[in-house]
A and B are shown apart, each in its own frame.
Chain A
Amino acid sequence: MATDSEPSLPFKPYTLTQTLTGHKRAISSVKFSSSGRLLASSSADKTLRTYCLSNSDSNVDPIVSPLQEFHGHEQGVSDLAFSSDSRFLVSASDDKTLRLWDVQTGSLVKTLAGHTNYVFCVNFNPQSNMIVSGSFDETVRVWDVKSAKCLKVLPAHSDPVTSVDFNRDGSLIVSSSYDGLCRIWDAGTGHCMKTLIDDENPPVSFVKFSPNGKFLLVGTLDNTLRLWNYSTGKFLKTYTGHVNSKYCISSAFSITNGKYIVSGSEDNCLYLWELQTRKIVQKLEGHTDTAISVSCHPTQNMIASGALGNDKTVKIWTQDKD
């Protein structure tokens, strides 16, 4: 856990505080709920698990303990998302369905069927009345939560869709794909608003809106993360140093204590870059396989990460308290 360079703000390094085992195969995604009280992980072992964080006392690191297991998918799960009120979880699976689960009881509420190939990514909108999903069938689908009906099918890409996200007020959807494009759609009408391209178009593995919805964090399979301003169509920052050429590794914005970009990497570490200077401020070691997914706690200085098959664990990293 070496600190590589001198950042402008005094940077407190993150340390590993907990390792959560339980999944029997590779982890595909970890997410904190919007309140920060729950953590969820999805895995190739066809299950989802939720964990709860003990009451956050500012002097003591919260303990993360397993809560529920969700069974029902017939094949591995690639992604999951919490609804804004943390009552529901939606998961995307290779069995071509999305499933909506009740977080408290662990029971299956609804199955959303319609995709014709593996469903790879999923997200709720902030109002949590719609779900967006991207699939290997090259389409993006928008679903109505209440009736579980598919509201729209967007002819999004010409290759598997790797990531979908809503912006802050739920009016835009961004989708990314192996075809090298990121497209932005009007969530209300389903019309394409913009396509982001550059001179080279390496497969895009991940895309996410910034907290204010003005920028996009785009991860591509040429070991690069970029911050784009989608209105101008130009990227503003580039983050390198990590390894990402095979898997769809997710990244996150860390805004609880200074602004950083956090990402997993195929060299089994987590990388933290300072947002503005683009310097690597920390490299977190501990996983024994590719760190495929990271999530930042909404209020505390905590990062959760999940790794692939050789590792199968979810690790919790926190910043040292004063």
Chain B
Amino acid sequence: MNAPIIDPLQGDFPEVIEEYLEHGVMKCIAFNRRGTLLAAGCSDGNCIIWDFETRGIAKELRDKDCIAAITSVCWSKYGHRILVSAADKSLTLWDVVSGERLTRTTLQQTPLQARLHPGSSTPSLCLACPLSSAPMIVDLNTGSTTILPVSIPDTGNGAVPQSRNKFSDGTPPFTPTAACFNKYGDLIYVGNSKGEILIIDHRTVQVQAMVPVSGSAVIKNIVFSRNGQYLLTNSNDRTIRIYENLLPFKDGLVVLDNLDKTLNELDGVEKLKAVGSKCLTLFREFQDSITKMHWKAPCFSGDGEWVIGGSASKGEHKIYIWDRAGHLVKILEGPKEALIDLAWHPVHPIVVSVSLTGFVYIWAKDYTENWSAFAPDFKELEENEEYVEREDEFDLVPETEKVKESDVNQDDEVDILTLEKNSAFSDSDMSQEELCFLPAIPSPDMPERQDKCVESSSKLVDSNQSGSPLSEEAEPNGHTANHASSPPEAEDAGGSRMKRKRKPSEKGLELQAEKVRKPKSSGRLSKVKNKSVVDQDNGNGFHGDDVSD
């Protein structure tokens, strides 16, 4: 995906809803490292893996033991494993390729978020943030849990006022804490209810540093950017703060150790604060000063240039996009359904949002046709230009030596084998094989279809898997209509073939924005419907029309 001719504005941001995915009620999403697969956890306990390129379902991870809603889903570094946390207090680790369940751990409380250790490709450790207690490290093989400290003992600040711990909707006070791994997983950053970021070494479970967040409001989310350079906190005071990570990626612990030694004259909290000031610096703050809204699921873009946050207000689906300098660049508005999760594609300017109704919306750039790609010797003009003829423009000049010397030296060496490195993934450890896609196994056609001799029947029959019984009946009807309708609709981008002659052909153009109408068997199909804005040209409309006759 690094070809130099693809639009260089890859680092741009999305503008409109391109498509939506539907399968049951999805609750949370996560992209794999390259963005080729999207994992979605559903309310019925299943995890669906979507092939993001074809927008179809690549795999379903079904667990008969788990029927509770999934609260979070997380990929391992190279995409071989998925960790799923559910409302029945369980953590399940899956092997993606085989679809097998590897381990299942039950905790004391429902984990709201679970993250696999990002340092290895087959991690056994994960970080779980339960509903109402401190985050913990869970060893998935043994099931043992290590609780992380959420506050520094003897803060010397006196009791924290009760109101600080309440959520804005007045739920009873408890100490929720957000936590995340840093890029290589050697440190854990915890954001507690006193508005402090604690940097913890996960092996010794010791707080190494502390960074107080201005405003001291409860921290609801804490997230690193993909390159590990920036950290984002979302606090109860309706502000998203961006911190710059000053620690080096691989030797963070060594640096912390050194700082610890050099700042020996300080003690306790003061020392931790001093160390902390060397680890993170506040970069920007984002808030909506007009509506003062709470934010939900904030995260970075793949390259860390943009920050997005969803509005936490119920009944609206708004996504705010800021550039890292703090300017609000766009507000995306979706259908009037609350937003529950948000993710930015690791490479492309695509944003995926999950609404309360369980749909996953895909936001992408609005495409304007680049006509000069079709006709390179023409130049696209923004507005009419006055053309001034040359003096000899229309003179008849005898064809002078029109030897077009190729300005290319054909003897130059041409290298057809060397590959270019993809700069977006420069840190990839090439010794590990990354899982980029799942093998696509086409579901076989029904056997009786194979002896159909008439070609038009094959068009009807093969378009829709589960619609096969219908298509048998539809044979006689579809037959005649097919022949009649194919020639005039051949020129269209194919959309109009969806509808037969009795529907006006401009419907085909509208098809881009409409849902695909499924035949009566839609009841059966509703589970596996992938709505696509791009036309589906295999005669689905025929079925519907035939059956409804």
A residues lining the B interface (CB < 8 Å): 72, 74, 85, 87-88, 95-97, 100, 102, 107-114, 116-117, 127-130, 137, 139, 141, 144-153, 155, 167-172, 183-184, 186-197, 199, 210-215, 227, 230-231, 233-238, 253, 255, 259, 275-278
Contact = CB atoms under 8 A, between A and B. Distances in A.
Given A97-B458, A144-B56, A146-B442, A275 B404 contact: no
B371 to A, nearest CB: 9
> 9 closest Cβ contacts across the A-B interface?
A153-B494, A129-B440, A210-B416, A113-B459, A127-B437, A145-B440, A116-B490, A192-B373, A144-B54
B538 A114 contact: yes
Contacts of A227: 414, 416
B410 interface: yes
B462 interface: yes
A234 B455 CA distance: 43
Nearest to B409: A236
Given A116-B486, A150-B537, A278-B410, A212 B418 contact: yes
Contacts of A96: 455
Given A116-B490, A184-B5, A276 B373 contact: no
A212 B415 contact: yes
A110 B444 contact: yes
Contact of A236 (B6, B414, B537): B414
A74 B453 contact: yes
A169 B58 CA distance: 19
Nearest to B18: A189
Contact of B534 (A88, A100, A128, A190): A190
Contacts of A259: 416-417
B459 to A, nearest CB: 4
Contact of A111 (B375, B415, B445): B445
B535 interface: yes
B373 A152 contact: no
B412 interface: yes
7 contacts: A74-B453, A108-B450, A111-B445, A128-B440, A190-B534, A197-B377, A237-B414
A167 B442 contact: no
B534 A152 contact: yes
B416 A212 contact: yes
Contacts of B418: 212
Given A109-B444, A146-B54, A171-B1, A137 B490 contact: yes
The listed residue with most B CB atoms (<10 A of its CB), out of A102, A108, A236, is A236
Nearest to A144: B54
Contacts of B490: 116-117, 137
A167 B5 CA distance: 13
Interface string B418-438: 111000000000000000111
A211 B416 contact: yes
Nearest to B453: A74
A193 B51 contact: no
Nearest to B407: A234
A211 B3 contact: no
B394 interface: no
A231 B415 CA distance: 14
A128 B439 contact: yes
A148 B265 CA distance: 70
A155 B436 CA distance: 29
A236 B532 CA distance: 41
B214 interface: no
B388 interface: no
Q: Which range contains the number of B residues in contact with the other chain?
A: 35 or more
A113 B458 contact: yes
Contacts of B535: 150, 153
Contacts of A255: 416-417
A214 B367 contact: no
B387 interface: no
Contacts of B411: 276-277
Interface in B11-33: none
Contacts of B392: none
Given A127-B53, A130-B53, A146-B441, A194 B5 contact: yes
A128 to B, nearest CB: 6
Given A146-B57, A169-B1, A214-B420, 5 more contacts: A129-B53, A151-B534, A171-B1, A236-B408, A236-B412
The listed residue with most B CB atoms (<10 A of its CB), out of A150, A170, A183, A235, is A150
A231 B4 contact: yes
B463 interface: yes
Contact of A195 (B348, B376, B410): B376
Interface string B359-383: 0000000010110011111000000
A153 B493 contact: yes
B450 A147 contact: no
Given A129-B53, A149-B538, A168 B408 contact: no
A38 to B, nearest CB: 17
B488 to A, nearest CB: 11
B494 to A, nearest CB: 4
B13 to A, nearest CB: 16
A187 B53 CA distance: 9
Contacts of A151: 54-55, 532, 534
A213 B417 CA distance: 8
A144 B440 CA distance: 9
B10 to A, nearest CB: 11
Nearest to B436: A127
B325 to A, nearest CB: 29
B443 interface: yes
A262 to B, nearest CB: 13
A95 B417 contact: no
B477 interface: no
A110 B462 CA distance: 7
Contacts of B462: 110-113, 148
A139 B494 CA distance: 9
Contacts of B408: 234-236
Contacts of A168: 419
A102 B453 CA distance: 21
Contacts of B458: 97, 111, 113
A144 B374 CA distance: 25
B232 to A, nearest CB: 28
A233 B444 contact: no
B450 A72 contact: yes
Nearest to A74: B455
The listed residue with most A CB atoms (<10 A of its CB), out of B55, B348, B415, B486, is B415
B479 to A, nearest CB: 14
B141 interface: no
Contacts of A233: 376
B465 interface: yes
B373 A189 contact: no
Given A108-B445, A146-B441, A129 B51 contact: yes
B250 to A, nearest CB: 28
B399 interface: no
B122 interface: no
